[in-house]
Structure 1
Amino acid sequence: MTPRHHLDEATIVGYAAGALPTALAVVAAAHLSICRKCRESLRDAEAIGGLLLAQQQAPAVPSTTAREAILAQLSTAQQDPSRKDYEPVRANDPDALPAPLHRYFGPTFSALRWRMVAPGVHRIRATQITNGNLMLLRIGPGKSVPMHSHQGNELTMVLRGSYVDALGHFSPGDVADLDCDITHQPITSPGLACICVAATDAPLRFDSWAARMVQPLIKL
């Protein structure tokens, strides 16, 4: 699995600093667990952040000691599974969910218990999350999500299947890192249902009045 769509640099810096809302941090961690390129960018962000913080230490503190202490703090920041489990996946188990998702959805696809929210659309919401909205979505092949933009940020990572929108083709491992400037309409590819993990820090903004009418019910 070699992703073609990656985390934005600002998202990686926010993740390194422990500044992302929990829901977004979980999806970022899931992508990091399978993406070597983004892990390398994360290590660079952590190192740069450590050096910048070290320069702000009092002169009485040796710079090497300060740098080591700050890097240690960065490496242990956000002591929850969304932070510490970004380490690369080693097991090649097609039934396994990425490790950062285990706390919220369980370890395997086969054990998931889906709830239908619309014809061909099923969802599992992570009820533990209070800082943002985190969910798994399973959308049948050849279906489209209503055209929408975003009031805040959205991170969506494809786990199975694929979809296409104005930003390109997204397949397993790819992540869509979106903000309020993006308007799009994902359409799932034929053949397999598309399973994604998605996080938002604000409700979506749908163009269609019909979608806006049912939005409070489906809580997107």
Structure 2
Amino acid sequence: MKPHHHLDDSTLIGYSAGALPAAFRVVVSAHLSICQSCRERMLDADAVGGQLVSLQEGASMSAEARNDIMSRLGARPAPPTAAPVRRGLDHDLLPQPLWPYFGETYSDLRWRTIGPGVHHIRSRGVDDGHLMLLRIAAGRSVPMHTHGGNELTMVLQGAYDDSLGHFAPGDVADLDSDVEHQPVTSPGVPCVCVAATDLPLRFSGWLARALQPLFKL
């Protein structure tokens, strides 16, 4: 698995400095667990993150939090390696950073239907931002939408296409409120993604807007 769509530099710096909401940190960790390119870029992000923390010496930050970040940045460890694979089960395993929030295997997931061919699972244990798994049937389109804030989505299985390109397993869409798109899943198998948002989506169509409070997207 070699991703072609990667994390923005600002996202990596925020992750390094401990400034991302919890839901976004989970998706970043999942991508880093399989993407060598972004793990290497984390070294540069660590250096920038350390400078940002230094500039915040006079800002409101607990001594414990500052010491933890500085300790991690100052150590300058080698880029993290990919999570170990359990032979014979790797096709059924979620990325290891997702295990505390959704469980270990796809076969144990319990999906909730939120529309024709669309299912989701809300994470457990994340209060800072919204974290969910989405499964969309092959050959379906998501309603046109923008984002009230930021969205970070990683493809786990299947694929989709939108105005930004083709997104396959491992790819991430690192989006802000300026992006309007309508993902269309590829034929063959359902598209499974993990997504983090900090504000609700903004759908263009009236029906999707009417149903949005029910599904809490």
TM over 0.5: yes
Q: Which residue of 2 aligns with 1:155?
A: 152
Cα distance change on mapping 1:174 and 1:69 into 2, 3 Å: closer
Q: Is the 8 A contact 1:150 1:183 kept in 2?
A: yes
> Aligned with 1:180: secondary structure?
coil
Flag structure 2 segments of 5+ consecutive residues without an equivalent.
58-66
For structure 1, the 5+ residue unaligned runs are 58-67, 77-85
In the other structure, the counterpart of 2:101 is 104
Tell me what 1:200 maps to: 197
What is the CA distance between 1:50 and its match in structure 2?
A: 2.9
- Supply the distance in 2 between the matched residues of 1:115 and 1:56 (Cα, whole angstroms): 43
**2:62 paired residue number:** none
Match of 1:39 in 2: 39
Mapped pair 1:90 → 2:84: yes
Confirm or deny: 8 A CA contact 1:54 1:70 kept in the other structure. no
Question: 1:56 deviation in Å?
Answer: 8.9
Residue 60 of structure 2 is matched in structure 1 by none
Counterpart of 1:89, as a letter, is A
What amino acid is aligned across from residue 72 of structure 1 in structure 2? S
Counterpart CA distance in 2 for 1:219 and 1:144 is: 19
Partner of residue 144, structure 1: 141
Please state how far the C-alpha of 1:87 moved relative to its aligned partner: 4.5
2:214 & 2:6 partners in 1: Cα distance?
Answer: 31
Change (3 A) 1:75 1:97: farther
Distance (whole Å) between structure 1 residues aligned to residue 167 and residue 17 of structure 2? 27
Quick one: distance in 2 between partners of 1:124 and 1:182?
Answer: 24
The residue that corresponds to 1:83 in the other structure is none
Secondary structure, counterpart of 1:42 in structure 2: helix
Change (3 A) 1:75 1:106: farther
CA contact (8 A) 2:136 2:191 kept: yes
- When residues 184 and 75 of structure 1 are mapped into structure 2, their CA distance, relative to the original with a 3 A threshold, is farther
Aligned equivalent of 1:133: 130
Note the C-alpha offset of 1:186.
0.2
Whether 1:210 and 2:204 are equivalent positions in the alignment is: no
Q: In structure 2, how many angstroms separate the alpha carbons of the residues matched to 1:9 and 1:165?
A: 22
| Residues 188, 194 of structure 1: 8 Å contact kept | yes
2:23 aligned with 1:26: no
Q: 1:19 to 1:161 in 2, by over 3 A?
A: same
Measured against aligned partners, the alpha-carbon deviations of 1:54-96 in whole angstroms (never above 9, x if no partner) come to 6998xxxxxxxxxx996524479xxxxxxxxx74223161111
Determine the structure 2 residue equivalent to 1:80: none
- What is the CA–CA distance in structure 1 between the aligned matches of 2:20 and 2:2, rounded to whole Å? 24
Cα separation, partners in 2 of 1:210 and 1:74, compared to 1, 3 Å: same
**What TM-score, normalized to structure 1?**
0.85
Q: Give me the CA root mean square deviation.
A: 2.2
1:139-178 residue CA offsets vs partner (Å, 9 max, x unmatched): 0000000000001000000000000000000000000000
> In 2, Cα distance between the equivalents of 1:205 and 1:179?
12
Q: Are 2:153 and 2:172, in contact at CA under 8 Å, matched by a contact in 1?
A: yes
Residue 169 of structure 2 aligns with an amino acid whose one-letter code is P
**% identical aligned pairs:** 60
| Residue 20 of structure 2 corresponds to residue 7 of structure 1 | no
